Chains A and B, each alone.
Chain A
Amino acid sequence: MSKLLNEINKGRVLVSDGAWGTFLQQKGLKPSECPEEWNISRAADVFDIAKSYVDAGADMIETNSFGGNYFKLKNYGFEGRVFEINKAAAEISRKAAGADRFVLGSVGPTGKLLMMEEVTEAELYEAFKAQSIALEAGGADAIVIETMTDLEEARIAVKAAKENTGCEVFCTMTFDKIIGGEYRTMMGISPTEMTETLAEAGAAVIGANCGNGIADMIGIVKEIRLANATIPILIHANAGMPHYCDGETTFPESPDDMAGNVREIAEAGANIIGGCCGTTPGHICKVREVVKSL
């Protein structure tokens, strides 16, 4: 895995993949269905998604395991299948990635709030530990903890993955631009605060995902870079906020819109660039083209 970090240290900008959730929906995932269960029952469809990003030119792909923690799976009665579901997720992406590309095991938030005493620190740690171990068992090179808003939950997740697997641990949080023009997560965390805490917790790569389109990511990357001159930065930007028309939601930012910001994001200090909700293999293909020209 340090191979990935070596590439970054050589000064290469790497390309990650695009959306999984919105892609699964296109393939027929219903709102009441558990997306991660598809790793078992619809493995061929999940493989198609992974493969489409490999074909688009991504250097690394994620796994279909964002909601694969104990607490999220419990909503569907699958809490006893954490290992099976996450291992399968990593195996599918490993198969699509082959030996040359990297597999990032996706770990999302639990949806439980520590400060409301809905969950204890020990329970969070156990949940992230179990998921990370399963992703590693399925062949993940790194664990990417993402869409975090609570710094304490993010820190516990980083520690759990770091202390229980041989994988590198990445962590990205989700920031909004607030009225004053600064960036904060829903829980009030700034990119600077994130950087200090997660670097200390042992994250090898940090960054931002989702949010509100790729243009906002430039300011976020600049702030992280100012707080830490060397830590590799990962950006998974969404394609803007969705529009709704005749029962369909569409995302406003096209592959060209996304690609148009890639140079500036890389110059601001981002080392890995990919997409989140609403981005497609078409977006990643365009990102690849720009990155090639850097």
Chain B
Amino acid sequence: MKHAILTTLCVLLAACGSETKPRNTGVFMLVDTSGTYTEELTKAEQIIRYTLSRLDATDSFAVARIDTGSFSEKDIVAKTSFDDRPSAVNRQKRLFAQQVNEFVTNADPSPYTDITGGLLQAVEFLNEKGTGKKTILIFSDLKEDLEAGYIRDFDVELGGFEVIALNVTKLRSDNIDPREYLARLEEWQGRVEKTGGQWRVINDLDGLEGLL
């Protein structure tokens, strides 16, 4: 009898002590503000609102712009970690949507496009939050255009991350030679998968059901 009680207690203690994997989701969205891509920002806002509607308590969400040097906290437009209480979550979502709306209204186009810096910033943010599922959304044409002196030719560790490219628009040059567009997508896929990340492209923004 004593053995049985001791065994039960041990099992219960072990169950209490075992670390459980977090079940929350972390999303970092990079929004390209270079050149004419700023015209697409209203679409980005739609995606952000959709993402907000899909996120729940204890999830984390941040939106940052891609500009000349994106590896900076200053580029984060809005960020939040949702509370445990549903009423607080609703308030946070409304505030977040308002901040994004202000950003979309007042966004200025940037001369250069530092996607890798933004990706690095996203990885840092999500690792810091320690969420169970980590997703990086890149709302860009994926055409990286670095200013002279910026070093970005290194691998970003993306193990455990899902990187989703959204609204990858075709450039004028892509229309002339579509291989450029395909090569660009292939290059990014290679970079992500090389370091253990998962890669997806969603260009049809009407079908966002599988986004998260």
Chain A bound to chain B: no
